[in-house]
Structure 1
Amino acid sequence: MSSPNSSPNPNPSEPETFDCVVVGGGPAGATAATDLARAGRRVLLLDKPGRIKPCGGAIPPRLIRDFAIPDDLLVAKVRSARMISPKGQRVDMPIGDGFVGMVDREQFDPWLRDRAVLAGADLRAATFDRIERDAEGLATVHYRQAGTPRRVRTRLVIGADGASSTVGRAEIPGHAAMKQVFAYHEIVRLPPEGGDVAATRCDVYYQGRRSPDFYAWVFPHGDTVSIGTGSARKGFSLRGAIRELRAETGLDAGQTVRREGAPLPLKPLRKWDNGRDVLLTGDAAGLVAPASGEGIYYAMLGGRLAADAAERFFVTGKASALALARKRFMRLHGRVFLILRIMQGVWYRNDALRERFVSICRDKDVQQLTWDSYMNKELVRAKPVAHVRIFFKDLAHLFRWVSP
């Protein structure tokens, strides 16, 4: 599909020229393409067809508000989370006012790409191949569309093509060494009996048998659920863990709609651009929150920041402007990512610590600060006394001064 605003190439023997080619049409790439097209830039969005990322689909109110997500895209509205410990203790964390929206990536991502087209971007179902530079230094992007080799020229390439980014591996030193966790989920239709799930509750399993270093989940999607897990440990059977979880929750009686797996990054890269004409964003730049695995909000914010940096690059002609995307993101969320990474390293190490972590979640201060931070995507500073209380409660559980 092409933008209604695009025009045919006046000289078919010469490649088309775009201001920006965005590789990858997920939340990050589609958002970057939309913002740049709205700014009047000529944008080509390349999206590899037939791929749906494994994702629980949670989006906070901040995302819904900042990126104008319509209510009819939400397949469920979650009003609480249930944490399940290795010994089976269940801790419910009600949200209170408001809700967390749930989306299914099978519908959500195409909607975002369609919005980019409506903004003026040219969308093509294609597979990125490589980047070459001509004698003038302008980048030529080679790709395949329906098996046919094609090429276009561009001032900038935005790589939003996932954790194993082809763009990143070719253009950003060290990208191939990015640490990753592999995520797997199944979309399952609810059986007639319903199973041990609720339409407005997310269930999170902190159990080593579900994941030795992450967690498993069951998230509502209306008449289906996303049931999944993830791990960086080689040899751990993600499919086996989900098979057992389906059996224990009664979801094995439900029809499997689809299965999906993909690598996820563990931390943001130190460098997102090549100092010349390539900028990464989304999973390609490592924008998945540690501990929680949340990615949609950070991907869309990363796409917006990439578009802002690209516009600055176009206006000034200075490649140094591309580094602004990472600087702004880390200024906004670097501290949160660090705290979450420390939390995961401390509490996810073994089942004894996971048991204590779930116990901490009973605390009302912990629940309120968790939801306030998640819903608004900001560290809450308004209640310093509560932060102090949580700090000492964490120490008490970590050093086993209290029983879980």
Structure 2
Amino acid sequence: MSNKVKNRWLIALCGVGIHLSIGSVYSWSVFTKPLMNQFDWSLSRVSWTFSIAILFLGLAAAFMGHFVEKHGPRKSGIISALFFGLGLLGSGLAINFESLILLYISYGVFGGIGLGIGYIAPVSTLVKWFPDRRGLATGLAIMGFGFASLIASPVINSLIDLVGIAGTFYTLGIVYLGIMLLSSSYLSPPPEGWKPEGYEETMEKRKNKTQDLSQLTANESLKTRRFWFLWVMLFINVTCGIAIISVASPMAQEIAGLSAAAAATMVGIMGLFNGLGRIGWASLSDYIGRPNVYTTFFLIQIVLFLLLPVTTAALLFQISLFVILTCYGGGFASIPAYIGDLFGTKQLGAIHGYILTAWAAAGLAGPVIVSWLREVTNSYTLTLYIFAGAFLVALLVSILIRSDIKKLRKENKDRLAS
């Protein structure tokens, strides 16, 4: 029987394969100028393609979470591959037909649906395969999403020069469809009741045990305070992080006096720290506990957002942004394990999908808030202080959720005693 159990590290590798593929969405900006030059489309009209894709990522994750739990990661991964692959191929057709509407539908809607399903399908499975290393396993996959643009951006740039915009979409569509189908074919949940070798001994050594404090369905989780606490924490972390990403270059030039070239280099390095934060913080959460990791995120960012407006030393300013980006990426990577701790793995994919609506909302709110405040005040100072205040709220929420965890532990202890 044990010989038939799949290799959980290969399952993790398949999750990374899917996330490296769909994470190429973060390379959308590489298409921006070529599309504007070829069709005389405005920046805002081209940028809407990315916004629609992120919106449908959140919507698909929320509405398809139950599908993932019911039909399993393999079938869900295949559907994700078909939507994402066809979305890219359809984008090639949109370029051939010179249709912006078709681009919105193909890349934005179809691609976005593929993103949402592909994001949650491997993550919920990995939490079940790695009950002893939840943070590490989900961090690995979600790190793939963060790192994807580092690989995809130069490839897309070269392909546009070689085969044009349409040819690039066709090529990416075929390649990513193949990678995602291959990765999905090996995905499956572990056998009922399966535990890795040495699981009990490993968990006994951990002082911060928050695993499986309850086993709730997705709809039951919505009725708890702790679900909404997680939602608020993720929303604030992503809103402030994505806002900083959207204005990092001009803000660094304005506050710290970086040149345009130096600021552009800094933005590229930010992507690296975004990815490193996903694996680093998520792995650390296995040892110090998810509640401690999130409280640490918010304490660090309160201090840094208060200091950024007066940090005129270029190196110190950049280091501060890099640390913020590790917290931004770490928030994404640690949330699935936190969900598993608080709600169990019965419908983790569906609950994760509901939580990710915070990402969709933050993706729209963050850039709008920072741009509007910059135009009104002619400075980034007020924006950064407001974000520091938002992180203070997140810190309070991260402390409040501990009372729920303490209560759950007591109930479990009383149940075992009786």
Q: Could you say which structure has the higher strand fraction? A: 1
Q: TM-score, normalised by structure 1?
A: 0.30
Greater RCO structure (CA 8 Å; 6+ sep): 2
Q: Could you say which structure has the higher helix fraction? A: 2
